[in-house]
Amino acid sequence: MCHEKSHDRVIARSSFTPDEAGPPENCSTFCLRKPDSAHGVFYICPVMRNFGVSGMLHAARGQNLNQGQNTVIEYSSDKRFAGVIMSNAYFKVPAPINEPIRTYGPGSPDKIALKEKIADLKSKEIEIPLVIGGEEIRTGDTAEIRIPHDHGHKLGVYHRASEKEIQMAIEAALEAQKAWAVMPWEQRVAIFLKAADLLAGPWRATINAATMIGQSKTAYQAEIDSACELIDFWRFNSFYMTELMKDQPYSPAGMWNRVEYRPLEGFIFAVTPFNFTSIAGNLPTAPAIVGGVSLWKPASSAVYSAWFLMKLLEEAGLPKGVINFIPGSGAKVGNPVMASEHLAGIHFTGSTAVFQEMWKTVGENIAKYRYYPRIVGETGGKDFIFAHNSADVDALVVAAVRGAFEYQGQKCSAASRMYIPQSIWPEFREKYVAEIAAISMGDPEDFTNFMSAVIDKAAFTSITAYIDHAKEAGDAEILTGGNYDDAKGWFIEPTTIVTTNPRFKTMEEEIFGPVFTIYVYEDAKFEETLDLCDTTSMYALTGAIWGQDRYALIHMSDRLRNAAGNFYINDKPTAAVVGQQPFGGGRASGTNDKAGSAMNLLRWMSVRTLKETFAPPKNWRYPFMGEK
C-alpha cells in the first residue's frame, strides 16, 4: 500500500498475480504493482502506521485472494478516513477441547525431555530484565531467584521496576493500544492460538521445568497448571470472545441494531500470584485477547517461570507494548500504577488484604481516573469438606489427602477444614492416618515424591506459627505431621490438626500451606454443624460435600449455597478445569468473575450500541398532534 495520490484507491482481484515488483516512485514502503499501478500484495506503509494502522495487512508475494472474491479498499491522505482492511468472511475459531494431561510415565519421551530441561535450567544462572514496549530494561535494582526446595541453589536474578519504569510502561502500553485495539480480532486470536500450540509443543518442557524448580511443583502439578490449564485459557478465551460477539440485538423493520465489543480504554494492571503459572499467563492475556493492553506484575517468588512465558508470547508474535513485564515490590510498582489516570482495570489474584487495599486506593482516586476501573479479583479461601454419615469413607480419604496436600496446600482452593460425623470418624481416622504416612516429600526431580517445599521463608515462618499454636492449644491435637525443617529447603510435613473447637484459629484463618484441621461433630447436630460451616469463615471460594444419601446432598447443597463459588459433590474442592468449572468465589474470596469463562472476558470489554435508521422521518410532527 502506498500513500501516493494515485494509490488512494486500490482494487485487488482474486486472479491477480503481480508481474512487476519494486517500490513506487517516492514511496518508502515496498509493494508489488502492475504497470497500471494495481497492487496485488499489500504492506502497511509508514504513513498508514502513523494513522494507528500497523501490521494488519501482510500477504506473501504472489498470493491470490479467495477465488471469486473482489475486495475494494479505499484510503485517503485525509486522516479522518484512515481505515483498516477487513476480510470479507465470518471466521470460526476452532471449538476448543481441554489439553490432554501427559502422564510422564517411566521411560516416556515426555519424562526424559522434562528431566533434561530441568538439568539444563539448573546448570545456568540467568538475568531477568523488565520488558517495556518490547525492550529489555535493566534497572540495576536486583533480587535473587532461588529454588524453594534447595534454597542454596541460585537460579539467577531479576531486575525490579521503580516509578520511572512504571511511567515508561504506561506510555508504552497506551502507544501500543492505538494499533492493537483496531487490529482485526482474528489476527489477535491467531497470536494466542499460536502461543497455545507453542506451549503444547516445543515450549512445554521449558515452562513445566521452570515451574517445577522455581515454584517446587511436582511434574503432575506443573503439567496440569503451567501446561494444560494455560493452553486451555488461551484456546477457550479466544473461542469465548467470538461467542460473546455473536450476541446481537433484535432489529425491527426500518432499522438495524447492533452492538460491538470494544476493549477498555486505558490499561489493565495484572497482578499475578506465585502458585499458578497458568494464572500468571491468563491475567495479562485475557484483556489482551479482546484488544486491551496490560502492565503485568508477577509475584516476586515466581518471576522465573513468568519470564519464560513472556519469551513464549514474544515468539508467538505478540506486538511490542501490548503486555509490559514489570516485576518489583508491591509498593514501588503498585503505587504509581494505581495513581495513573489511565488505569482502566485490575486483574488480580493474591491476598485478601492486598486486594482490599487496592480497592480502597481506587475509591480514593476515583475522581482523577478517566474511567471507572473494572476490578476483578480472586483472593483467599478457607475451603471445606463437609461429610454426611452416608459418605463413602474410602473415597473421602483420598479427597482429603489430595485436596489438602497437593502442592503443599498452596492452592486457594485447597481443603483446609473438614467437618465429619462421629459415626464414621474412627474408620476415616485409621485409613487417613495410614495414607498420610505413605506420603513422600522432597525434591520434585524425584518423581516418586507427592509433596515438596513451600514457596519461601516468609511462607514457612507463617505456616509453622499455626502449627506451633496448635501444639500449645488445649482444644486441639496434632494427628499427623507437625514437624518442619528449613536446613535445605522450606519443608513442612503434611500436618493434620483435630480440634474440639469449631472456631479454632486454624478453622477460621487462611494458612496457605499443608495444614488441615478436622472438627468431629455429633451426628445429631448435623443442622447445627452446617450453620457452623457457613458462618465460621469470611471466605467463600470452594467447598465439597460428601454423602450417598441424595436427600442429604440436596439439603447440604441448598444450605451451603453461598458458602462457596465452586462447589463440589463427592469430590475434592480443588482442580477446576477451564471450560468445565469456571473458577471464582464470593464474600471475601473475590468478585466471582469466573476465570475460564466468557463472564471474565466480558469484564474487559466495553459494549457500544449502534442503531442505524434506513429511512429517517422528515416531519417532526407526531400523529397525535393532528387535533386538539
What does the pLDDT average to over 500-513?
Answer: 98
Residue with cell 494427628: 479
Together in a domain, 567 and 492: yes
Q: Among this protein's residues, is 412 annotated catalytic?
A: yes
In a domain, 63, yes or no: yes
Report the phi/psi class of residue 176: left, alpha or beta, with left for phi > 0 and alpha for psi in -120 to 50. Answer: alpha
**Count of domains for the chain:** 3
In a domain, 97, yes or no: no
pLDDT of res. 86: 62
Q: Among this protein's residues, is 4 annotated catalytic?
A: no
Beta pairing partners, 550: none
Mean residue pLDDT of the chain comes to 89
Q: Which of 286, 302, 270 is nearest to 578 (CA)?
A: 286
What are 164-199's pLDDT values in tens digits?
Answer: 999 999 999 999 999 999 999 999 999 999 999 999
127-130 own/partner pairs: CB under 8 Å, 24+ apart = 127/156, 127/157, 127/158, 127/159, 128/156, 128/157, 128/158, 128/159, 128/303, 128/304, 128/307, 128/327, 129/158, 129/159, 130/159, 130/161, 130/165, 130/169, 130/324, 130/325, 130/326, 130/327
In a domain, 122, yes or no: no
DSSP secondary structure code for residue 228 in this structure: I
Tally of residues, the chain: 628
In a domain, 310, yes or no: yes
What does the pLDDT average to over 81-107?
Answer: 85
Q: What percent of the chain has a predicted confidence (pLDDT) above 90?
A: 86
What are 370-393's pLDDT values in tens digits?
Answer: 999 999 999 999 999 999 999 999
Residue with cell 541460585: 154
Residue ending a domain, among 89, 112, 137, is 89
Q: What is the dihedral of CA 241, 246, 249, 250, to 10 degrees?
A: -170
pLDDT of res. 65: 34
Together in a domain, 302 and 447: no
Together in a domain, 508 and 486: yes
Alpha carbon 136 to its chain centroid, in Å, reads 23
What are 576-622's pLDDT values in tens digits?
Answer: 999 999 999 999 999 999 999 999 999 999 999 999 999 999 999 99
Measured from the Cβ of residue 122, the count of other Cβ atoms closer than 10 Å reads 15
Together in a domain, 218 and 69: no
Positive/negative CA dihedral, 525, 527, 528, 529: positive
CB 321 within 8 A of CB 130: no
Residue with cell 505431621: 481
What does the pLDDT average to over 511-533?
Answer: 98
Domain ranges, residue 64: 1-89
pLDDT of res. 85: 61
What are 192-210's pLDDT values in tens digits?
Answer: 999 999 999 999 999 999 9
Lookup: cell for 133: 514496549
What are 138-157's pLDDT values in tens digits?
Answer: 999 999 999 999 999 999 99
What are the backbone angles phi and psi of residue 377, rounded to the nearest 5°?
-145, 140
Together in a domain, 389 and 528: yes
What does the pLDDT average to over 413-431?
Answer: 98
CA distance 487 to 474: 30
Together in a domain, 288 and 366: yes
Together in a domain, 368 and 390: no
Together in a domain, 361 and 394: no
Residue 67 has pLDDT above 90, yes or no: no
CA distance 264 to 177: 10
pLDDT of res. 461: 98
What does the pLDDT average to over 477-493?
Answer: 98
Structure pTM? 0.88
In CATH, what number is assigned to the domain containing residue 499? 3.40.309.10
The catalytically annotated residue of 412, 445, 510, 533 is 412
pLDDT of res. 414: 98
Together in a domain, 426 and 372: no
In three-state secondary structure terms, 309 is helix
Together in a domain, 43 and 156: no
In CATH, what number is assigned to the domain containing residue 350? 3.40.605.10
Helix-helix angle 163-180:330-339, to 10 degrees: 50
In a domain, 77, yes or no: yes
In a domain, 37, yes or no: yes
CA distance 28 to 291: 29
CA distance 80 to 65: 28
The catalytically annotated residue of 165, 378, 406, 445 is 378
In a domain, 622, yes or no: no
Together in a domain, 373 and 389: no
Q: Which of 463, 510, 506 is nearest to 486 (CA)?
A: 463
DSSP codes of every residue in 95-141: PP-PPPPP---TT-HHHHHHHHHHHHHHT--EEE-EEETTEEE--S-
Residues 6 or more apart whose Cβ sits within 8 Å of residue 465: none
Residue 398 has pLDDT above 50, yes or no: yes
Together in a domain, 465 and 536: yes
In a domain, 276, yes or no: yes
Residues 6 or more apart whose Cβ sits within 8 Å of residue 8: 74, 75, 76, 77
